[in-house]
Amino acid sequence: MDNIYYPRGTVVTDIKEDTPTIKTFHFELDEPLTYKAGQFMQLTVPGIGEAPFTPSSCPGEVREMEITVLQTGRVTDALHNEIKVGDRLGLRGPFGKGYPMERFAGKEILIVGGGVGLAPLRSLIYALFDRIDDFKKISICYGAKTPHDLCFRDEFDEWTKKPNTSLNLTIDNPHPDWDGTVGLVTCLLEKERIDVDIKNSYVVSCGPEVMLKFVTLKLMDVGFKANQIYLSMNRRMSCGIGKCARCNIGPYYLCKDGPDMCYEDIKDYPNVFE
């Protein structure tokens, strides 16, 4: 009988420091696995516990995987402070539904990320790049606190070289190392700035919940419908399989039905945003 709680082995092959608080861990898996963009993994630090992460690497059938981690709690503290290249960790998953890529096909895709929220979106971005002819346009809006908090900066040039792809960046406050846009990520979504065929597009957003809230309000304000907006609702999870009953919004378990939810489906339920 399969044990749904047992983590599969994986070894850390590289650790890259993206920002002072964010690291990307590169794993080699003991057994290959297949995951879709938007699905997540439960990453085990031995003796410490598990935390859910959506991989930041390209989905598909993989033997390797990247997970980008902001240092913020017990498991992520251990990841940042104790885990070295060569250490063995555990993985369960993939869990969740993943993005409705078929629904996205033929449309413009607007990606709105905040801080480490770009990590799971990077996985989606790669998935979109993989079949870029299926999408009319890919617009990426990304904001972080300071220029040094932007993840994956060394990849931005490569991204913008892709056909029909744009990348707009902003940081929260003026900074000596920054001559670009200053303001919260919502400022990139203002009517006069947003260069998207609203009727023919889907939005995918990931970031802190307070950001998701204001991004959603702004999107609705500029004319998007709730059924065009997909939000990455990453709540506390434990089992990952719709049993332990803590990650719910309305009738949905985010671990099983999400974690990316269409705003239309969840908007009428309590506790959608903190």
Partner 1 sequence: MDIYFLPKDELTELIEILRETGKVFWTRERDLPSNLENIRTIRIEELDEEYIMDYRVPGLRAYDIFKSFLLPLNFKVAEYPDKKWIDVELNAKKTVLLGLKSCDLVAFSMLDAVFLEDPEFMDPFYKKNRESIVIVSSDCSRIGDSCFCNLLGNTPYATSGFDLNISEVSDGYLLESGSPLGEEILEELSLPGARKKGIEERDKRREKVLKDLEKQNSKFLKAFSDLSKLVSEGYYRDEGWEPGSTCVSCGACTNVCPVCYCFTLFDRFDKKGEKSKRFMVWDSCQYKGFSQMAGGMNPRFPMMERFKNRYYHKFFRFYERYGKYKCTGCGRCIDNCLGDIDMREVLASVKIGKVVK
CA angle centred on 163, ends 160 and 164, rounded to 5°: 85
Q: Which of 166, 183, 250, 262 binds partner 1 (CB under 8 A)?
A: 250
Q: Which of 60, 191, 243, 264 binds partner 1 (CB under 8 A)?
A: 243
Enumerate residues 6+ apart whose C-beta is below 8 A from 128: 104, 109, 135, 138
Write the binding mask 86 to 125 for partner 1: x where contact by CB under 8 A, - elsewhere. --x-x-----------------------------------
Binding residues for partner 1, rule CB under 8 A, total 45
φ/ψ of 155, rounded to 5, equals: -105, -10
Measured from the CB atom, is 166 or 238 closer to partner 1? 238
Query: Within positions 3 to 62, which residues make up the interface with partner 1, using CB under 8 A?
Result: 3-7, 9, 44-51
Amino acid (1-letter code) at residue 147 = P
Residue 209 interacting with partner 1 (CB under 8 A): yes
**Residue with the two structure tokens 């939005």:** 203
Smallest distance, partner 1 to C-beta of residue 5, A:
4
Q: Distance between terminal CA atoms of the chain? A: 39
| Whether 84 contacts 112, CB under 8 Å | no
CA distance 160 to 57: 18
Smallest distance, partner 1 to C-beta of residue 15, A:
19
Q: Which residues bind partner 1 (CB under 8 A)?
A: 1-7, 9, 44-51, 72-76, 88, 90, 208-209, 235-236, 238-239, 241-248, 250-251, 267-271, 274
